[in-house]
Structure 1
Amino acid sequence: MNRNELRTALIEAIVDIAPDLSPEEVSDDASLRDDYDLDSMDSFNLAAEIHKSLGVNIPEADFAKLQTLGELVTYLEPRLT
């Protein structure tokens, strides 16, 4: 999976969790929590969806540090190759 495919998969997961967002609204540097209003349960659901769809488990301590789509892509990319 290349970087663009990973980004697209993550956007789909974010939009599934926050259906009021459209894929075009999700940017690499916007805060998932502050700009998209993802609360702790949404974050848990996103981590679970990432594990389910990509097969990568993100430890809770790491996930708490990942605040943007860009950070998620950068974190996950080496774990998928």
Structure 2
Amino acid sequence: MTNEGIAQAIIDIIKDIVPDEDCSNIDPAVALRDQLELDSMDFLDIVMELRKLYNVEVPEADYGELATLDSCVAYLEPKMKDI
């Protein structure tokens, strides 16, 4: 999967979890929780969807790696390169 595909997959998951949020102007360098109404349960839902849809495991110790869209892509790219 390309970096653009990974970013879009994250955005699609967020849209499913918080459908009332406007994801069209996400700044990829700013923390997602600062831009969107995401609570800790929403964040866990994102992690669970990554596992369910793409068989990607994100250990709890790595949750900080998913703070921004850019950091999500950087963290997930090696895990999703063959998808």
- TM-score for the superposition, normalised by structure 2: 0.85
Matched, 1:61 2:61: yes
Task: Name the stretch that deviates more: 42-51 or 63-72.
Answer: 63-72
State how far apart, in whole Å, the 2-side matches of 1:11 and 1:27 are. Answer: 12
State how far apart, in whole Å, the 1-side matches of 2:5 and 2:35 are. Answer: 23
- Correspondence list, 1:5-16, <5 A: 5-16=5-16
State how far apart, in whole Å, the 1-side matches of 2:53 and 2:64 are. Answer: 20
1:51-70 residue CA offsets vs partner (Å, 9 max, x unmatched): 11111010011013421111
1:18-69 residue CA offsets vs partner (Å, 9 max, x unmatched): 2122341223123121221211100100000111111101001101342111
- TM-score for the superposition, normalised by structure 1: 0.87
1:24 is paired with a residue whose SS is coil
The alignment yields a C-alpha RMSD, in angstroms, of: 1.4
**In the alignment, what sits opposite 1:18?**
18
State how far apart, in whole Å, the 2-side matches of 1:22 and 1:34 are. Answer: 13
Structure 2, unaligned stretches of length 5 or more?
none
Q: State how many pairs are aligned.
A: 81
Structure 1, unaligned stretches of length 5 or more?
none
% identical aligned pairs: 38
* AA at the equivalent of 1:6: I
Q: Which runs of 4+ in 1 moved over 2 A?
A: none
